[in-house]
């Protein structure tokens, strides 16, 4: 059974009287806000999810998800009794126990995290706090080191300006979900990090997560697994450390991918196979299997912006971070590598037609923010090539960004590869693995595959007569 297929069967064992149902407001209905709202509602809290984007809220009210992820809508449907949506904060926050902030913190031009949305939310919340109210503000957005402390002070200053005496506390609670697996990660996190300076507020956030921390909430399809061995770890720490854990984790993962991409570059030169190198390395438990998949490099709404933001923070201290700098440099270099490979095979890109399969920054999502694929399409167009693009879910999101006479948006793989001089696999969607490549070969002008994600079987495709080029193999 697929995750979320039979939501009504979900089991919540709440015989444990330690669990207390809370009134939770989640601000922001993006990936993080929406998944947080869904999880909180499923585990028994009463949740109001707020977003200023009226289109998003209108969709959500009709039970439709504004972002693509498998089973997201089924999960949404399964918790509507506990989850409602609106575009504005309620007039009074008197009944609210916890407000979770999950608005965006994109990069500014100079690389700093743009805090304008968080700042606005802080003003909005504080204006609604009432005399003698107890409220915990939980920060899930990824914010620069020192932000929670600063906002805590700011809220208290704003309250004293209004002459309101209330018991408001902050808890930093960074999010580690991955897009495409956001729902699963939200229900089954490896760890929950809570940073703060008030034991009672930290205790309340622990209670909020109680069913996840104790696995008293179980989806039936996972019941046969031994959950005791995989309970999420709880990390309780201070504000600054919680914020640093988030940035360090993303920077480390990005660096790990850049490391394997650097090795892949050398594999290309010496003739070794990066796929086996990754397996051979990953089997060492100290290294671990994850994030050793070489390819076009990392994109998305977080690794690029969070590595930039970390560098920005370091700059404030004149502290150099050469590893992160190198990780970013290698990531940019991957795009050049693939363009050189295309040029090596086609000689001149101008006038050639290249099919690009995959536009989202990774499979499982329709998100094209900082997608390497989208950047490569733009570069091919700049070099005079024409591009036919196909993606199972991200096509519509890319239409505006890639609007050009040289870009043809195709609704199928076959339409995209028709008369193409080369095909580039830019996102490793499973669908590309399952396509009949013999049929593809008959329709292409020249049978050239640049497999930017090392998705396909090199040997099989070579035997079919394709010129196959991967990354480091």
> Which are the catalytic amino acids?
302
> Which letter does DSSP use for residue 232 in this model?
P
**Is residue 193 at the binding interface for ligand NAI, with CB under 6 A as the rule?**
no
Distance CA 185, CA 194 (A): 17
Which of 24, 43, 121, 245 forms a contact with ligand NAI (CB under 6 A)? 121
The binder of 298, among ligand NAI, ligand UGA, none, by C-beta within 5 to 8 A per type, is ligand UGA
d(CA 249, CA 239): 16
DSSP for 165-223, written as a single string: --EEEEEE------TTSHHHHHHS-SEEEEE-S-HHHHHHHHHHTHHHHTT-EE-GGGT
User: Which one among 26, 27, 151, 368 touches ligand NAI, defined by CB under 6 A?
Assistant: 27
121 binds, among ligand NAI, ligand UGA, none (CB under 5 to 8 A by kind): ligand NAI
DSSP codes joined into one string, 254-298: HHHHHHHHHHHHHHHHHT--HHHHHHHHHTSTTT-STT---SS--
211 contacts ligand NAI (rule: CB under 6 A): no
Which part of the chain contacts ligand NAI (CB under 6 A), choosing from 27-35, 41-49, 92-100, 353-361? 27-35
Q: Does 214 bind ligand NAI (CB under 6 A)?
A: no
Report d(CA 348, CA 352) in Å as an integer: 8
The answer to whether 332 and 407 are in contact (CB under 8 A) is no
222 binds, among ligand NAI, ligand UGA, none (CB under 5 to 8 A by kind): none
CA distance 207 to 362: 34
* Distance between CA atoms of residues 252 and 255, nearest Å: 5
Q: Which stretch binds ligand NAI (CB under 6 A): 21-29, 159-167, 206-214, 282-290?
A: 21-29
Residue among 137, 141, 107, 122 at smallest CA distance from 313: 107
Q: Which among 72-80, 143-151, 299-307, 393-401 is the span making contact with ligand UGA, rule CB under 6 A? A: 299-307
Q: Which of 45, 56, 140, 293 binds ligand UGA (CB under 6 A)?
A: 293
CA separation, residue 144 to residues 77, 112, 113, 149, 401 (Å): 35, 8, 7, 11, 29
- Give the one residue of 47, 76, 292, 310 binding ligand UGA; rule: CB under 6 A: 292
Q: Is 363 in the site for ligand NAI (CB under 6 A)?
A: no
Please, which of residues 180-219 interact with ligand UGA by CB under 6 A?
Answer: none
**Of the candidate residues 108, 178, 315, 441, the single one contacting ligand UGA (CB under 6 A):** 178
Select from 94, 13, 114, 101 the least CA-distant residue to 49: 101
Nearest to 117 by CA among 134, 142, 137: 142
User: Using CA atoms, how far apart are residues 165 and 219, in angstroms rounded to an integer?
Assistant: 42
Closer Cβ to ligand UGA, 129 or 171, answer by number: 171
The pattern of x and - marking residues 95 through 114 that bind ligand NAI according to CB under 6 A reads -------xxxx---------
Nearer to ligand NAI, 52 or 345 (CB): 52
Kindly list the residues in this chain that would bind ligand NAI in the complex (CB under 6 A). Answer: 27-33, 50-53, 56, 102-105, 117, 120-121, 140-142, 175, 177, 179, 301-302
Q: Which residues bind ligand UGA (CB under 6 A)?
A: 142, 175-179, 250, 253, 257, 291-293, 295, 298-300, 302-303, 361-362
């Amino acid at each position: 059974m697929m995750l979320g297929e039979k939501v009504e069967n979900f089991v919540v064992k709440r015989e444990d009287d330690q669990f207390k149902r809370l009134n939770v407001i989640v601000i922001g209905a993006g990936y993080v806000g929406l998944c947080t709202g869904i999880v909180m509602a499923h585990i028994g809290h009463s949740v109001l999810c707020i977003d200023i984007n009226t289109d998003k809220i209108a969709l959500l009210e009709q039970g439709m998800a504004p972002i693509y992820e498998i089973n997201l809508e089924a999960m949404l449907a399964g918790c509507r009794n506990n989850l409602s949506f609106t575009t504005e904060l309620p007039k009074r926050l008197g009944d609210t126990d916890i407000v979770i902030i999950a608005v965006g913190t994109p990069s500014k031009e100079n690389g700093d995290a743009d805090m304008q949305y968080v700042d606005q939310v802080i003003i909005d919340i504080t204006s609604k706090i009432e005399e003698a109210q107890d409220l915990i503000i939980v920060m899930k957005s990824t914010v620069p080191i020192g932000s929670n402390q600063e906002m805590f002070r700011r809220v208290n200053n704003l309250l004293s300006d209004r002459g309101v005496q209330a018991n408001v506390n902050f808890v930093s609670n960074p999010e580690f979900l991955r897009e495409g697996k956001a729902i699963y990660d939200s229900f089954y996190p490896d760890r929950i990090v809570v940073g703060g300076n008030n034991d009672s507020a930290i205790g309340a956030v622990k209670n909020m997560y109680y069913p996840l921390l104790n696995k008293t909430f179980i989806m039936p399809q996972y019941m046969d697994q031994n959950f005791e061995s995989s309970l999420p770890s709880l990390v309780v720490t201070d504000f600054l450390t919680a914020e640093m854990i988030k940035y360090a984790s993303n920077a480390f993962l990005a660096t790990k991918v850049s490391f394997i991409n650097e090795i892949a570059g050398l594999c290309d030169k010496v003739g070794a196979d990066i796929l086996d190198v990754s397996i051979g390395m990953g089997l060492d438990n100290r290294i671990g299997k994850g994030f050793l998949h070489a390819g076009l490099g990392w994109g998305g709404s977080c690794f690029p912006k969070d590595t930039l933001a970390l560098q920005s923070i370091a700059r404030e201290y004149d502290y150099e971070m050469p590893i992160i700098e190198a990780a970013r440099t290698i990531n940019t270099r991957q795009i050049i590598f693939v363009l050189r490979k295309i040029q090596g095979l086609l000689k001149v890109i101008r006038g050639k037609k290249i099919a690009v399969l995959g536009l989202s920054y990774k499979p499982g999502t329709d998100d094209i923010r900082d997608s390497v694929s989208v950047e490569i399409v733009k570069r091919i167009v700049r070099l005079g090539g024409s591009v036919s693009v196909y993606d199972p879910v991200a096509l519509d999101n890319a239409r505006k960004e890639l609007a050009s006479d040289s870009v043809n948006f195709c609704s199928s793989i076959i339409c995209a590869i028709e008369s193409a001089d080369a095909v580039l696999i830019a996102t490793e969607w499973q669908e590309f693995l399952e396509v009949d490549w013999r049929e593809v070969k008959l329709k292409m002008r020249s049978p050239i595959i640049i497999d930017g994600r090392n998705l396909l079987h090199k040997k099989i495709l070579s035997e079919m007569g394709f010129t196959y080029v991967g990354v480091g193999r």
